[in-house]
């Protein structure tokens, strides 16, 4: 699988979240070309402010001794919570579907020598743009924009 295929897997998580009534942001964690965990934003589903897509994915991966050989994919640029987690866990490579809806903590990750690739994927972009337009308050709550 290549980056486009893994982002499609993350996007499938985002769509599953939307079907559940949740915020459509998805993530997969990949090691040696294999998906080892999947996740999607759980704010609505689990009443949790910390389970962004990336965090849910990392929680689902369980305990790991190292993340040095992992790549994390997210449909949207990570916020400071998710970026801080990526920095702390030592995940060296981050591939995002898009950053037009949210520029997140890209500079922070790059300043910590994380390789960050933005695919600017039209499907990821449209899914999130539609959600933000329909549910601006939920989106603002999710990124604590008050």
Catalytic site positions: 54
Under the binding rule (CB under 8 A), the answer on residue 51 touching a second copy is yes
Question: With the CA atoms of 83, 84, 86 and 90 taken in that order, what torsion angle do they form, in degrees rounded to the nearest 10?
Answer: 140
Buried b (16+ CB within 10 A) or exposed e, 83-94: bebbbebebbbb
Tell me the window of 4-12, 22-30, 58-66, 122-130 that interacts with a second copy (CB under 8 A): 58-66
Host H or E run for residue 106: helix 106-111
Of 33 and 62, nearer to a second copy (C-beta) is 62
Under the binding rule (CB under 8 A), the answer on residue 21 touching a second copy is no
d(C-alpha 11, C-alpha 67), whole Å: 22
Under the binding rule (CB under 8 A), the answer on residue 110 touching a second copy is no
Tell me the window of 10-18, 23-31, 65-73, 122-130 that interacts with a second copy (CB under 8 A): 65-73
The only residue of 63, 113, 133, 134 in contact with a second copy, by rule CB under 8 A: 63
């Amino acid at each position: 699988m290549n980056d486009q295929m893994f982002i499609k897997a993350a996007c499938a998580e985002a769509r599953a979240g939307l079907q559940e009534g949740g915020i459509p942001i998805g993530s997969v964690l990949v090691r040696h070309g294999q998906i080892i965990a999947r996740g999607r934003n759980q704010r609505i589903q689990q009443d949790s402010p910390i389970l962004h897509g990336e965090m849910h994915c990392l929680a689902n991966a369980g305990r790991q001794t190292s993340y040095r050989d992992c790549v994390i994919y997210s449909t949207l640029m990570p916020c400071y919570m998710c970026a801080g987690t990526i920095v702390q866990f030592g995940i060296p490579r981050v591939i995002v579907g898009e950053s037009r809806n949210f520029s997140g903590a890209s500079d922070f990750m790059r300043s910590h020598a994380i390789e960050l690739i933005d695919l600017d994927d039209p499907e990821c972009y449209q899914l999130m743009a539609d959600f933000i337009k329909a549910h601006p308050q939920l989106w603002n709550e999710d990124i604590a924009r008050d």
